[in-house]
Structure 1
């Protein structure tokens, strides 16, 4: 029985995309060629892995087991390739970076551009996650580097400062608080609120401080992205409490007023870089950490 790694990679793509056509586009291969690869894989294994239909594909019971094993094998092969490249003296390979939304919209693009210019042989596999999931991915060794707004560093991780990202209140320009120099949390939550991403670090922070103040949050709508949040504010559905990075990226038009949140927990908010604690790291991983934390010239 011969099963080649490329066929496993294509099989994983088909499952993740839910469609042979979309997986083919993702991997720059003809759908007919990809379909033949999957058929050959099923023949080598001796079992049907997919249920095909006009609307897409589903895993058979055998396919579910094969998918789990394929992901594990693919991950092992990727790690092997990265380690061999690192030992060759080249700074090359793939670094798995998980980051929260405010890091991605506010600070990460420029730093990754700088990193790419310096290390063109390193590919960054970037995944957006809420802060708690970033931490969990680092602890589970599913991420080599993470960026989150978490204030705690669990055992097993190292952590460094990445960027200051204080909270701001975004409001329609005709709102009665729009001309304020700064706003307290109590002043802001007297008004309807457009909330972000239930379960995220910002959502948890606002709920914790509202509970401590024995105040209720009047949430009109909850959305999953900063641009959607700012769009709802623009439409007059409420005000938003967002990081400065998001306020700058999505609330820069004349349809918004941006007012600092006058709370130590808001003004002191920052993002941090995390990585699994190890005696030594792959050169590409260390190079990314150094770039993100501004430590390139200190080693």
Structure 2
């Protein structure tokens, strides 16, 4: 029986996407070619691994076992390649970077461009996640480096300052709060809010502050991205509390009124770089950490 690493990678991708078509698009391969790869893998295993239907795919019992082993083997192969690459005199290899949305839209593009120019042999695998998941990925060693808005550093991680990203209030034109130069949280929660995805650090912070104020949040609509949030606010569906980075990226037009959120917890919001505490790291991983830390200092 011969099972090649690329087929395992495609199989893992199909499971994650729940669809051969979506996995094909993600991996830049024709759906028919990917389907043949999976069929060949099933033939090598001697059992069907997937249940196919018009709505997508599901794992068979054999497929669940194969998926767990495939992930383990795939991770071991990647780890071996990364370790071998680190033995060369050059900084090369793959770095797994997990980051929250505000760091991606506000700070990372330019900093990763500078890193790429300095270390052209390093490939950055960037995954966007909410802050809690970024921290979990670092703890589980699924991420080499993470950037989050988490205010605490769990045991086992090292953290450094990455960027200040205070919260601000976005208002549609003509809103009555626009007459004020700065707004308190009490001012804001009197009005319907356009909220961001449940479970994120910003969502948790606002709920905690509302609970402390013993005032329920009035949510007009909930969206899953900063750009959607800003569009809803611009259309007059509510007001919003967003990081300054997101406001700069998506609310820079004349269709908004921007005001500081005059609360200590809002003005002191910052982003941190995290990594698992280790005695030594791959050269490429350390190079990215050093670059991100230097950028924060500069």
TM interval, short-chain normalised: over 0.9
Q: In structure 1, what is the equivalent of residue 24 of structure 2?
A: 24
Match in the other structure for 1:135: 135
2-structure distance, mates of 1:131, 1:19: 27
1:291 and 2:291 correspond:
yes
Question: Using the alignment, how far apart are the partners of 1:105 and 1:248 within structure 2?
Answer: 9
After the TM superposition, which residues 233-244 of structure 1 pair with which residues of structure 2 at under 5 Å, given as runs? 233-244=233-244
Instruction: Identify the residue that residue 144 of structure 2 maps to in structure 1.
Output: 144
Q: Distance in 1 between matches of 2:252 and 2:170?
A: 10
Bigger mean CA offset, 7-16 vs 103-112: 7-16
Task: Name the structure 2 match of 1:253.
Answer: 253
- C-alpha distance 125-204 of structure 1, shift in aligned 2 (>3 A): same
Q: C-alpha deviations, 1:80-137, integer Å up to 9, x for none? A: 1001100122211111111111101111111111111111111111111111111111
SS in 2 for 1:158: strand
Alignment check: 8 A CA contact 2:162 2:296 kept: no
Unmatched 5+ residue regions in structure 2?
A: none
Deviates more, 1:6-15 or 1:141-150: 6-15
CA spacing shift, 1:191–1:276, aligned 2, 3 Å: same
Residues 287 and 296, structure 1, Cα contact 8 Å, conserved in 2:
no
1:109 aligned onto 2:109: yes
* 1:23 alignment partner, SS class: helix
Match of 1:198, SS state, is coil
Deviation at 1:155, TM superposition (A): 0.8
- Superposition RMSD in Å: 1.9
1:4 Cα deviation from its structure 2 partner = 1.4
Please say if residues 163 and 296 of structure 2, whose CA atoms lie closer than 8 Å, have aligned partners that are also in contact: no
Contact 1:164 1:268 (C-alpha < 8 Å) held by counterparts: yes
Q: Give the conservation status (yes or no) of the 8 Å contact 1:196–1:225.
A: yes
TM-score, normalised to structure 2, is 0.94
1:85 match: 85
Asked if the contact 2:52–2:58 (Cα under 8 Å) also holds between the matched residues in 1, the reply is yes
Q: Does 1:228 align with 2:228?
A: yes
Q: Which residue number corresponds to residue 48 of structure 1? A: 48
Query: How many residues of Structure 1 are paired with residues of Structure 2 in the alignment?
Result: 298
How far apart are residue 30 of structure 1 and its match? 3.8
Whole-Å separation in 1 of the counterparts to 2:223 and 2:12: 30
1:179 and 2:176 equivalent? no
Change (3 A) 1:286 1:266: same
- Cα offsets for 1:58-101 (capped at 9, x unmatched): 32221121112111110111011001100122211111111111
Secondary structure at 1:178's aligned position in 2?
helix
- Between the aligned partners of 1:120 and 1:250, the Cα distance in structure 2 is 30
Q: CA deviation at 1:297?
A: 11
Q: 3-state DSSP class of the match of 2:242?
A: strand
Q: CA deviation at 1:50?
A: 1.8
Mapped to 2, the partners of 1:36 and 1:219 lie a distance apart of 47
Correspondences of 1:154-233 after superposition (within 5 Å): 154-233=154-233
SS of structure 2 residue aligned to 1:274: strand
**2:39 equivalent in structure 1:** 39
Change (3 A) 1:35 1:195: closer
Equivalent residue, structure 2, for 1:57? 57
Distance 1:190 1:30 in 2: 52
Find the aligned partners of 1:177 and 1:296 in 2 and give their Cα distance: 33
Structure-1 residue corresponding to 2:96: 96
Deviations 1:235-273 (A, max 9, x none): 211110000001111111111000001111111111010
Aligned to 2:15: 15
Report SS of the residue matched to 2:170. strand
